[in-house]
Structure 1
Amino acid sequence: MASIQEAGIDRWFIGGGAEHTPESARRLVHTATRGNEGVGGVSDLKVMPLAIPGQGVRVITGSALVRSRYVGGETQTYQANIFREVEVPIAQNTTNQDRYDLVILRVEDPHAAGSTYPKPALELLANEQYIYVRVISGVSATTTRVQQVVGHENDTAITLGRIKVPAMKGTIDNITGTITDLRKVAQPMSERVVRAINLTEAGTGYKQITNTGAYPTGGQTWPAEAESAGILDIDIPEWATYMAYTITWSQLFVGPKDGAGNVFGGMWLQVGATIDPDVWRGQLSNWDIAEKAGGHTMTMRVADTAYIKPELRGKTKRFFPRVNLQGGSAVNAPSVNWASSFDLDVTFKQTAA
């Protein structure tokens, strides 16, 4: 029988008085989280200005996973919790140029192999903090990870934010751009929803884009079958902060066969009914048909990545494909017909916010 050190094999969890080391627990966390690191949730450990703007910032409560970068600890992950807001002082900028500081969460483990951190006094070992919010001052304006900073390549740390400290100042306020959020969710969730309508099966006749109402409140739902209950009703996850979506209209008919003349309009996604107080509309995209004699088919598509406002999360909402006619030869506007199809592809994402 060999010892753990002799065999080079660790385990979790064996009874009968078997010894389990801190490394064993960190290896368990690493395996269970697939080596991911970052904050636990979308609002965890966010860097914010002080309640009264001053020479510092605060880091709100939350949890994090921090992958070990100590020698021999590459398959280990630390877990950290901040259960009380931490105020972090930011040094005044006494130069005539803006300065950039990183706010990080760092594990300073003096017991890890190769660690250079000093061990605390014997009487302090049990209650020593070991995990700290630190500031790395004077980094590049484009730095996004503490490991990009010379001298910190092997820090067992995650980056929370980057602070722009204006020239000759030290006060950090709510001005856009002063604090750049650099957090990443350690194990972000995602969910893809695809809905499709085959208009052959729906028995659709020729239905043209005719509504000239202006974006965002005007326009028409197209195809009209998208108005039907259930077809495009989608549950928005409570955890979702962003969504990437694509709407595609395929095999659209452009005519009449003897027609010619340019025609153009808009297309966008609307989430929720127009009368809903929390209705949301995506950015306007455009469709445009060049002058061309004779009937033909075409495809239209709109895509975007958008922030999901909190009031929409956790709700079931109908996703409306909206279009309008903006100008040109209206007789040549595209139509859905028995040969057309429609699909909506939405991926919900969990991103720090």
Structure 2
Amino acid sequence: MAFDPVPWATGGGAKHSPEVARTDTYGNSDGTEGIIKVGDLKVVPLDVPGTAVNVNPGSGRALNRHPGHAGETYTLRNATATEVPIASTGSGAGRSDLIVARVEDPFLQGSPYSPPADVEVGPYVFARVISNVPAGTKRLQDVSGHESDTGITLARVDLPASTGTITGAMITDLRKVAAPKQHTQPLFYSLVSGDTETLTATGENGEVWPNASTNSWGNLEIPEWATHAYIQVQWNSVFVPPGSSYGQMWLQVGGTGAGAPLVTQRSNWDSPNSTGNTRMVFALADYRSIPASLRGTSQRVYPYARILGGTSSTYPTINASSSCQVTFVFQQRAV
């Protein structure tokens, strides 16, 4: 096959093919597909729930799946909220519908779509309902008969029987960010000679452990785009005397005590019942959403722990041989 005669972007009034333009979009976006910003094209109930949903404003990219057009991408935009009617269910059974943004280009060879009355203004992209899909469906192209559709999946609406009013509880968000960002930030604190901290708190609020008198950790720099994070905390070389004790540990960001804006799950530790001193690693991992109030800010981290049981002679201690590390893997997801 010969080259397309006009490469992007030739001057002098040369006429470029839409295929070349779509190829440029594909290359500039690394072949990714989905919404552009995390809040784009979200499907929500009507302000007064009824027999329709709204697709919020936003933009996205859709890979061209028409045969013979691999490596091409459409860019689509929804300037204002678009209302999409949803058919009611009868008394016999419920139903699942997909809400998608589909590009319907009639100018591709073998296209099933017809040109609009005004080819200059279209429309060529629509919010469509793909009705009665299998339960749990997450992608337009997984539905039989729609494998070659060019479009991005926005949501699934799961209607019970005898239902016409769509509520938020019936909507499952299926949007994906086309090119999500990711950033890893590790923080580390090492105790120095003479430092010794024995975990003694038994109350629900626990204690900061290790409790650096200054912010020896450095600050956690939370990207503006970060919506979620994988969080790992590890207490290394914890000294545990003979006997048995057990407790919990967790991490707080942005504040101490109750009411911190970001708190991980509480993970348990349990020291062995031994006859000699033991060095252990305490660790936890969690996945949390980042509150909007923390995005784009610089925050301190506070590792917490508490004793749930055991005797004071067996409580764990950190000293100059110990360290603590916190790792955040920030992610960007649809919200």
Task: Give structure 1 stretches of 5+ with no counterpart.
Answer: none
Provide, for residues 219-263 of structure 1, a one-character-per-residue CA deviation record: whole Å limited to 9, x for no partner: 1111122x52262421212211111010011111111xxx32x21
Moved over 4 A (4+): 275-278
Candidates 144, 147, 161, aligned match of 2:141:
147
**In 1: Cα distance, 2:109 partner to 2:318 partner:** 67
Alignment TM-score, normalising by the size of structure 2 = 0.95
Q: Name the CA shift for 1:331/1:276 in 2 (closer, same or farther; >3 Å).
A: closer
Count of residues in correspondence between the two structures: 335
Task: Indicate conservation of the 8 Å contact 1:232/1:320, yes or no.
Answer: no
Whether 2:249 is the aligned partner of 1:249: answer: no
What's the offset of the Cα at 1:333? 1.7
Q: Kindly provide the amino acid, as one letter, of the partner of residue 193 in structure 2.
A: G
Kept in 1: contact 2:99–2:156 (CA 8 A): yes
CA 1:281–1:127 in 2, change beyond 3 Å: closer, same or farther? Answer: same
- Identify the match of residue 298 of structure 1 among 280, 291, 298: 280
- The reply on whether 1:43 has 2:39 as its aligned counterpart is yes
Change (3 A) 1:69 1:26: same
Deviations 1:310-334 (A, max 9, x none): 1222221111111111111222122
| Counterpart AA for 2:291 | K
CA–CA separation in structure 1 for the residues paired with 2:108 and 2:315:
69
> Residue type matched to 2:251 in 1?
L
State the SS of the aligned residue for 2:300. strand
1:337 aligns with 2:287: no
Say yes or no: does 1:172 pair with 2:169: no
Q: Percent identity?
A: 39
Q: 1:87 matched to which residue of 2? A: 83
Return the letter of the residue paired with 1:179: I
What is the correspondence of 1:208-287 to structure 2 with a 5 Å cutoff? 208-214=198-204, 218-225=205-212, 228-229=214-215, 231-255=217-241, 259-260=242-243, 262-274=244-256, 279-287=261-269
Residues 1:7 and 1:40: Cα distance change in structure 2 (over 3 Å) = closer
CA distance in 1: counterparts of 2:84 and 2:156, whole angstroms:
13
The residue number in structure 2 matching 1:314 is 296
In the alignment, structure 2 segments of 5+ residues that lack a partner are none
Q: Is the 8 A contact 2:252 2:260 kept in 1?
A: no
2:303 and 2:214 map into 1 onto residues whose CA distance is 12
State the Cα distance separating 1:9 from its structure 2 match. 7.1
State how far apart, in whole Å, the 1-side matches of 2:5 and 2:216 are: 54
Q: Residue 326 in 1 paired to residue 320 in 2? A: no
Quote how far apart the aligned CAs of 1:276 are.
Answer: 8.6
- After superposition, residues 24-173 of structure 1 pair within 5 angstroms as 24-121=20-117, 124-173=118-167
**1:23 counterpart SS class:** helix
Of the three residues 179, 182, 188, the one matched with 1:190 is 182
CA contact (8 A) 2:187 2:220 kept: no
305-314 or 227-236, which deviates more:
227-236
CA RMSD, 1 decimal? 1.7
Deviation at 1:212, TM superposition (A): 1.3
**Counterpart contact for 1:72–1:113, Cα < 8 Å:** no
Counterparts in 2 of 1:237 and 1:230: CA distance versus 1, 3 Å: farther
In 1, Cα distance between equivalents of 2:4 and 2:262: 57
In the TM superposition, what whole-angstrom CA distance separates every residue of 1:23-71 from its partner, at most 9, and x where no partner exists?
1111011001111000111110000001111111000000000000012
